[in-house]
Amino acid sequence: MSSLREIKTRITSTQKTSQITKAMHMVSNSKLRRAEENAKSFYPYMDKMQETISAIGGNDSSHPMLVKRPVKKTGYLVVTSDKGLAGPYNASVLKNVTNIIRERHNNDASQYGILVIGRVGRDFLKARGYNIINEMVGLPEQPSFKAINAMTKSAVERYEAGEFDELYLHFSHFISVLEQEVQERRILPVSQSDIQATRATAMYEFEPDKEAILDVILPQYAESLIYGALLDAKASEHASRMTAMKNATDNAKELIDDLSLQYNRARQAAITQQITEIVGGAAALE
């Protein structure tokens, strides 16, 4: 049995850990509320973009960003976090993308390229030899569109230049505080079903012409899809971290209760032994 001092030390250290995880839970809870607000406030903009592209593109557009082409190389934009302690958040995204790369490309680096956001994903993929062609780390907790503009432009420009024939986005979709779902979403070529999901309710006059407008608005739309998914992923990250810290705090409390019981038993045993020794010594003197 451990000594009283050892048990007491473990109780103290566990209490300090519990205080840290409780504080992290409260911080993540605050960040989650802001992340949810940011994601929800972006929805009206995306709805309007879809409506506009639907009115301009329709079914008869032959714009390169709306038409599928033979796939020689696929791009994957992977969204992870810069920090750990977020439960299965990063592991689920990375497991999903690595399984897909193995199934589709047999890990042949000439058939795919990865653009990764987040230090955890960057370190994981780089350590295992995956073909990373661009990376971004150190994003703020509540990222602005300007903060990721370089990455979104790089992804879209690589598709326009023919380096990629399709571009997929892998991220963790926020459903609720207790539920997040890893998703793969095709960004390019833009799906006709996506842009026609919202029917245009207004009449538009085009100047100079539809194709010229699509040249400008479709790259912006693709970049917006990436940014919207990043806002969604940030909400999922904070929710996952909040849940993980709550579980850690609960586990610490259970461990403290068990250690306290063990400490009391050891202390009672020590007191009983001392009493027994005193009684035995007194009896020997009689």
pLDDT number for residue 218: 84
Shared-domain flag, residues 97 and 8: no
Closest Cα to residue 64, out of 220, 219, 221, 228?
A: 219
| CATH number, domain with residue 186 | 3.40.1380.10
Query: Taking the C-alpha atoms of 53, 224, 190 and 138 in order, what is their torsion angle to the nearest 10 degrees?
Result: 170
The verdict on whether omega for the bond into residue 208 sits within 30 degrees of 0, i.e. cis, is: yes
Q: For helices 149-160 and 210-285, give the axis angle rounded to 10 degrees.
A: 130
Q: What is the span of the domain harbouring residue 8?
A: 4-16+245-284
pLDDT number for residue 19: 93
DSSP state letter for 274: H
Shared-domain flag, residues 258 and 169: no
Shared-domain flag, residues 72 and 103: yes
Shared-domain flag, residues 98 and 130: yes
Shared-domain flag, residues 165 and 263: no
What is the rounded CA–CA span in Å between residue 135 and residue 117?
Answer: 6
Shared-domain flag, residues 57 and 186: yes
Query: 0.85 cut: is pTM over it?
Result: no
Shared-domain flag, residues 173 and 280: no
Per-residue pLDDT of the chain (286 residues; tens, 9 = 90+): 568 888 899 999 999 999 999 999 999 999 999 998 888 888 888 777 777 777 776 555 677 788 888 989 999 999 999 998 888 999 999 999 999 999 999 989 899 999 999 999 999 999 999 999 999 998 888 888 888 888 898 899 899 888 999 999 999 999 888 889 999 999 888 876 666 555 544 566 667 777 777 788 888 888 888 999 999 999 999 999 999 999 999 999 999 999 999 888 888 888 888 888 787 777 777 6
- Distance (Å) of CA 86 to CA 169, 180, 235: 20, 12, 12
Shared-domain flag, residues 280 and 221: no
Per the listing, tokens 């998703």 go with: 183
Shared-domain flag, residues 82 and 152: yes
Number of domains in the chain: 2
